[in-house]
Amino acid sequence: LRRDPALQRLVARIHACFGVELMAGRRSRANPRSAGSQSMSSLCSTMARDTLLGSWWQVPGQGLTKLLFCNRLAPNHRRKTNMLSAVRCAVVVALTASVAACSSSEPVSILSNPEAASIQVNGQDIGTTPTQYAFSFPDDNTRHMVRASKEGYHDRDFVISEEQLAQLAGIIRFTMEAHEKPALITSDPGQARVEIEGIEVGLTPVEYGFDFKDRSRRHVVKLSKPGYFDTAVPVSENTEGLQSGVINVVLQENPAWRVTSESEATNRWLRIAIDSRIPYVSAWQRIIDSVTSVYDSLEQLDQQSGYLRSSPQIREFPKGPDGPFLVRTQFIGSISSQEPLTYKIKLVAQTRGKHESSESWAEFDRVFAQDAQLVEELQNRMGIK
């Protein structure tokens, strides 16, 4: 035994698995001792001796009456020269028989954070955490599938082998991962409006819980602030900021903001009541004079209907989210009513990337400074605001 480490390991395993004293034949040994107090060398010697005698082995308390019969291993029991070989054979056979003898380990504690997770072992419900379970390992290839599930959390799956169980020191401890992952959304500069899936959730900094019940889901976080480009950020379960609990978005300044301003006529109709003391012909000429002072030319005009449309004026800006971009404005006006005489005007403001198609123009909520001044001039020259 001292010269054969492999044999030592086999005997130690059998000794540990049985957990009881090995008995030979139908008669108890003299002065029986527990398996825990029986030395490996004593166990090995006893096994070898009984093997040579052709004994029937028993393991009390394990439901086995005939564990192995080794008479064929040593036909000549009087010869002591094959002692080591007989012992090796006995151990190998005993190890094979331990399939039944080692039917279960000591109960293992299964703990989760948070508690009350439902536990299944090989598809069978065994209770909720904290709980205990005795795993069985009939052979080296045995693996147990453990699944933990809890409402609002992702399932956790484990594969437990005998070797892994030994390393866990009797406790399987794990943390459940919640579907919802909270994060603080911040921006530079701050006080940016935050929309998630089209729903406004507040101004930065603002906390939000992202739901990842579907692990493949991507949330779109949109931030907007006057003077800066709108910024959309996709957030997945693996987003770096989400792991740290803080998602910070740096906003890019819009250079067009500095040379534009708001106007009540931007992309909507503004009605101006013409002073009754001003004849329509005079009012019409004042409109043409004011518009042509800002715009180079007129695309269309009709005095009878009062319809007037200027050619657009376009400016290019070098730095946008996707490179250079354009902003254009255009004046449109017409008679809204004849009695009392009312004229309506609108400043169409649009933007698009420089290299995008002409169909890509989108509304822009500001107009150039001279456009805003044009609106004020018309209000002042023609009548009541």
CA–CA separation, 73 and 76 (whole Å): 9
pTM of this structure:
0.54
Beta-sheet pairing, 246-250 with 180-188: parallel
Closest CA to 368 of 297, 322, 312, 319: 312
Q: Decide which of 3.30.530, 3.40.1620, 3.40.720, 1.10.3470 is the CATH code for 258-384.
A: 3.30.530
CA–CA separation, 108 and 154 (whole Å): 23
Query: What tokens appear for 302 in the block?
Result: 């009709």
Q: Cα–Cα–Cα angle for 111, 113, 116, nearest 5°? A: 70
Identical topology for domains 180-253 and 258-384: no
Q: Where are the domains of the chain?
A: 5-101, 108-175, 180-253, 258-384
Quick one: the chain helix, strand, coil %, rounded to 5? 25, 35, 40
CA distances from 319 to 257, 355, 361 (A): 12, 13, 17
Beta-sheet pairing, 219-224 with 171-175: unpaired
Determine the CATH number of domain 180-253. 2.60.40
CA–CA separation, 94 and 64 (whole Å): 12
Sequential pLDDT tens for the chain (385 residues): 556 665 565 555 555 555 443 443 333 333 443 344 344 444 444 454 444 434 334 443 333 333 444 444 445 544 444 555 555 555 555 544 444 444 456 899 999 999 999 999 999 999 999 999 999 999 889 999 999 999 889 899 989 998 888 888 889 999 998 888 899 999 999 999 999 988 999 999 999 999 888 888 889 999 999 999 999 999 988 888 888 899 999 999 999 999 999 999 999 999 999 988 899 999 999 999 999 999 999 999 999 899 999 999 999 999 888 899 999 999 999 999 988 899 999 999 999 999 888 888 999 999 999 999 999 999 988 765 4
Determine the CATH number of domain 108-175. 2.60.40
Please answer whether residues 210 and 235 qualify as being in contact, where contact means their C-beta atoms are separated by less than 8 angstroms: yes
**What is the widest separation between alpha-carbon atoms in the chain?**
140
